[in-house]
Structure 1
Amino acid sequence: MPQPGAAPATNRLVVDLHELVLAAWVPVPRTGVLRLRHRFPHARSVAWSTYHPLTLSPIEALRDREIVPDDGVANPFIAGADRTASHREYTVVVSRRSPQEVGEPNVLSSHGLPLVILFYRVYVPDRGRDRLGDAGVPVVEGDPARWTSRRRRIATTVATTLTWNVTAAGLTPPYLALRAVGRTRTGPAVTDGRWDAFFNVPRLAAPLLRDTWAAGLVEALPRAPRGPAANWATDSAIASIDVDRRLGPAPDGRNVLVVQGSMPRTPRTWHGDAIMDDRAELRYWSLSSMTAVPIGVTTRTLFDEQVPVDEAGRYTIVVSTPADRPVNATWDRGVAWLPWSARGDGYGRRAAGVLALRNQDPAPDFRHAIQHVSGPGAEASVMGEYLPTQRYLSREQFEEEEGPG
């Protein structure tokens, strides 16, 4: 199976291991603007965003295809563009004022805030490039001394650590309390589990209440707005499902989870396409194995180019521990393998975990992306064959199937 351009690592609250994030606390000038010079990376996608320093909610986003390059430079992320162009420079502007008031392109407004958290994201650098797609780190124009490598590392550590700890501390107590409501061995995971698109933080309780005596409370959870999924920097939307390998037929609980579905068309950037695919349905697709959301540790991610598909565009992914990986769960057999969450759910249940499906930047005419799920419960009707199905088998059962599909 082909390997990603970026080495595997552990990511928290970012969900995807093929996403590299640089974060920093940025003081926004009272008057004037802060300018950052950069180059378009050789990668699948890139995005900028500003977040509120207290609520951690997104403020503004600038996607790669929206970035206006310098004069004489073409944006390599626009559909049909030359991805190999040598001139790749552009400037991002951070200001307390609106883009209309600033009168320049690529403005990220802080909406008047004197301090924001600035995020820069890169997905899947091209094969042979470094983790930043050979573009380096953005440089502040006019005062680079304030942004030395050491200061950037400190700012990144502070911003991300605060985000992790605040989220985990806030969500863990209600998560454990709600998990106890079900009083089942595997809850909230069930054999015929369903995928839930992310809408807002309160709705994360839905899987914990469903199929319990408190199921009636699910309808009382807020249904809108979609929340950060609608305006994250990369136009990402996520659906997740709780899983537990004890749900299968093997009496010792050493089962495998078989995930199948149709793969949307995505650019083949890691494999070296020179032109940005103008027929892509999604910019990026991935499936991650992770702990329960409050801890939010992702231990492995498969992105679209790592998943073989058959002539009909269908894929089969086996999720298991390394010890229980079926012998026919290999690329040459048309099967991708995703390791089970190495930490289980992160709360003592080693057999449990969460799968997270990411859809990024759908084409205007692709109506089956998670972004188009209008409300809870509409996932299956909107996504159709692009919403994964799953079943639990023993390792022996899968090996006997000889080419599942």
Structure 2
Amino acid sequence: MALASLGASSATAQGVDTTCTLALTKTDPATVNVAYPDEAAIYWVGAYQGVPGTRLRITGRYPHARYFSFNVYDNAVRPIDAIADVEIQPDAGSMNPFVDGASRTAENRDYTAFIDFGPIPEQRAPNTIYTGTGQTGPNFSGTFILRTYIPDKGLDETGGVGLPTITLESTAVDGGRPSDSACKGLAKPPVPGVAQALADGAFPFQPKGLDAPGQPTPKWIKFRNLVQVYNRVVTDNPFFDSATEPLETAEQAGGNGGFLSNIHNSYVYAMLNRSYGEVSITRMKVPSTPDTRGGVATMPTAPLRYLSMCTNEIASQRFYACATDDQTTVGADGFAEYVVSTKASRPAWATSDCGFTWLPFGSATENVLVLRHMLPSAAFPEAIQRAEIGKEVATMGDYFPATRYLKDGEQPACRATRQSTGPSLGLPPSTKPGRCTSRRSFTIRLNRRFRSATVTVAGKRVKTRRGKRLRAKIVLKGLPKGTYRVRIVGRDRKGRKITTVRTYRTCVKQAASSKRGSKGARA
């Protein structure tokens, strides 16, 4: 390519359109599912060669989505620089819909960004990321990635705006904003079903020795780099455990990030092994996140932009499945509990109705569980980004996950869950004055089939009373607005086990009372 000729005329001043490579390199769970990706993210990958006197111009429209960004990487797939949606200044006459409180439906939403092949200067140019400053010295080539997370419901993977136009141009002449690329709407055909088949399947269980990845009590640690992961895969087990700490010096020499990690995310991970249990449960507190999937009109303010929990295969790095923040069931206490097992071993109680979020273990005997935090605000000091490796719990507190394997036959009680105000279930309990607390207290009568029964509310046992039918008093007084589940486990006259779950909501507007003549009350 004769790059020196760029700028020789008005036509060539606008450079060479390279957008089509993005469409062809879009990741797909069936064909390009590596580097521990997130199921909710769509990735478009391009390559760059740092030729002096050239740069990449990116012109596009802000997508209707939870998040988008550009990251640049070196040849060791470590991140060098990045720019997030909220950091990209809009073109004249346009607005950035990712700013807190901004309109997400604005029609004028154009932006222009640049990938500069030089080193990072003391004073950055607006909307520009740089590839020339590597983690260990000058950098001259690598890849860049466009990410989009959770497009609004009903829109395509680009968030309804098509791909941005990527133009290789000369830095000597500013050719201005080019016309949209002919490949703007090009999409690589998907290959559906492969990831789901791997998630649902399971190879025959083969007990592993003490040198297999994982511990009887899984250990969570903040992700640092590739060297750290390789060290933990080899030594995070009862046999080599004593070697983990001595090898940490090598981890520190491996730089920051890897596996094409996103600069705007931080991660903690733990290795699981079916040798220690077929079912594991992970508990942690969940911060609130902006609810955008349904297409809200303005950008909500939240302490964290995005959260997900994923199960990944260690060897191939592919994801089996991920639960995003708005797919996570959150208890009335603000905690989430993730249950991981093979599909065949999935407990009957591992459902959102019972207060749990289930994820498939996958087909291997061991896997890795990955938790992501994205773009925390100053109002969230417990974010992974602010934690020190090896001392994560000191910073994260209850937001740091804890995992254990369930004993054979163990059946946790169903949990009271928080009511969602939309697709996102990650909303913290309100402490603002004037918000509703429940006044509900009532008696339930059990089906005549029950000869004996145990009744629990949010995991706490409730006394049952006998009569013509078994009865139990349910007290929801003082609880915040939410959905609460009552679990009934009993036996019929033939000794057969019966299990039922009833759901009750608090702070729901009641029908008008004819006696009081009121407009309705909230209970």
Q: Which TM-score band (shorter chain)?
A: 0.7 to 0.9
Give the match's secondary structure for 2:303: coil
Give the match's secondary structure for 2:336: strand
What does the per-residue CA deviation read over 1:336-380, in whole Å, with 9 as the maximum and x for residues that have no partner? 111112x32xxxxxx3211111111111231111111223x2122
1:43, distance to aligned residue in structure 2 (A):
0.9
1:211, distance to aligned residue in structure 2 (A):
5.0
In the alignment, which of 233, 256, 264 is matched to residue 279 of structure 2? 256
Code of the residue aligned with 1:20 in structure 2: it is I
Match of 1:348 in 2: none
Which structure has the higher relative contact order (CA within 8 Å, separation 6+)?
1
Does residue 1:140 correspond to 2:166, yes or no? yes
Does residue 1:374 correspond to 2:388, yes or no? yes
In the alignment, which of 405, 419, 429 is matched to residue 392 of structure 1? 405
1:69, distance to aligned residue in structure 2 (A):
0.8
Match of 2:29 in 1: 9
Instruction: Provide the rounded CA distance (Å) in 2 between the counterparts of 1:392 and 1:98.
Output: 48
In the alignment, which of 232, 235, 239 is matched to residue 264 of structure 2? 235
Match of 2:12 in 1: none
Instruction: Provide the rounded CA distance (Å) in 1 between the counterparts of 2:65 and 2:150.
Output: 5
Give the match's secondary structure for 2:82: strand
What does the per-residue CA deviation read over 1:272-297, in whole Å, with 9 as the maximum and x for residues that have no partner? 3322222x1211111111111x4211
Q: Is the 8 A contact 2:218 2:404 kept in 1?
A: no
Does residue 1:363 correspond to 2:389, yes or no? no
Compared CA separation, residues 12 and 335, structure 1 to 2 (3 A) = same
Instruction: Provide the rounded CA distance (Å) in 2 between the counterparts of 1:214 and 1:303.
Output: 34
In structure 2, the gaps of 5 or more residues are 1-26, 133-137, 170-177, 189-207, 416-457, 460-523
Give the match's secondary structure for 1:188: coil
Instruction: Provide the rounded CA distance (Å) in 2 between the counterparts of 1:227 and 1:103.
Output: 22
What does the per-residue CA deviation read over 1:174-218, in whole Å, with 9 as the maximum and x for residues that have no partner? xxxxxxxxx825732222121011112222213632454543432
Code of the residue aligned with 1:237 in structure 2: it is S
Give the match's secondary structure for 2:232: helix
In the alignment, which of 298, 320, 324 is matched to residue 275 of structure 1? 298
In the alignment, which of 51, 55, 59 is matched to residue 73 of structure 2? 51
Instruction: Give the alignment's TM-score, normalised by structure 2.
Output: 0.61
Code of the residue aligned with 2:272 in structure 1: it is V
Give the match's secondary structure for 2:227: helix
1:401, distance to aligned residue in structure 2 (A):
2.8
Give the match's secondary structure for 1:332: helix
Code of the residue aligned with 2:371 in structure 1: it is L
Match of 2:215 in 1: 190
Compared CA separation, residues 90 and 107, structure 1 to 2 (3 A) = same
Code of the residue aligned with 2:228 in structure 1: it is R
Match of 2:433 in 1: none
Q: Is the 8 A contact 2:95 2:109 kept in 1?
A: yes
In the alignment, which of 140, 145, 151 is matched to residue 119 of structure 1? 145
Code of the residue aligned with 2:153 in structure 1: it is R
Compared CA separation, residues 115 and 185, structure 1 to 2 (3 A) = closer
Alignment of 1:275-354 (within 5 A): 275-278=298-301, 280-292=302-314, 294-341=315-362, 343-344=363-364, 351-354=365-368
Q: Of Structure 1 and Structure 2, which has the larger fraction of its residues in helix?
A: 1
Code of the residue aligned with 1:381 in structure 2: it is A
Alignment of 1:95-244 (within 5 A): 95-97=116-118, 104-111=125-132, 115-141=141-167, 149=183, 184-185=209-210, 187-204=212-229, 205-206=231-232, 208-210=234-236, 212=238, 214-220=240-246, 221-222=248-249, 224=252, 227-228=256-257, 233-244=262-273
Instruction: Provide the rounded CA distance (Å) in 2 between the counterparts of 1:135 and 1:287.
Output: 28
Instruction: Provide the rounded CA distance (Å) in 2 between the counterparts of 1:121 and 1:137.
Output: 11
Q: Which moved more, 1:34-43 or 1:325-334?
A: 325-334
Instruction: Provide the rounded CA distance (Å) in 2 between the counterparts of 1:8 and 1:306.
Output: 21
1:34, distance to aligned residue in structure 2 (A):
2.6
Instruction: Provide the rounded CA distance (Å) in 1 between the counterparts of 2:41 and 2:323.
Output: 12
Q: Is the 8 A contact 1:245 1:257 kept in 2?
A: no
Compared CA separation, residues 148 and 74, structure 1 to 2 (3 A) = closer
Give the match's secondary structure for 1:357: strand
Compared CA separation, residues 366 and 91, structure 1 to 2 (3 A) = same
Compared CA separation, residues 189 and 141, structure 1 to 2 (3 A) = closer
Aligned length: 351
Q: Is the 8 A contact 2:211 2:237 kept in 1?
A: no
Note the aligned Cα RMSD (angstroms).
3.2
Instruction: Provide the rounded CA distance (Å) in 2 between the counterparts of 1:103 and 1:184.
Output: 53
Instruction: Provide the rounded CA distance (Å) in 1 between the counterparts of 2:267 and 2:124.
Output: 34
Code of the residue aligned with 2:269 in structure 1: it is S
Q: Is the 8 A contact 2:211 2:240 kept in 1?
A: no
Code of the residue aligned with 1:128 in structure 2: it is G
Q: Is the 8 A contact 1:330 1:337 kept in 2?
A: yes
Match of 1:173 in 2: none
Match of 2:41 in 1: 19
Code of the residue aligned with 1:19 in structure 2: it is A
In structure 1, the gaps of 5 or more residues are 1-6, 155-182, 249-254, 345-350
In the alignment, which of 57, 66, 71 is matched to residue 35 of structure 1? 57
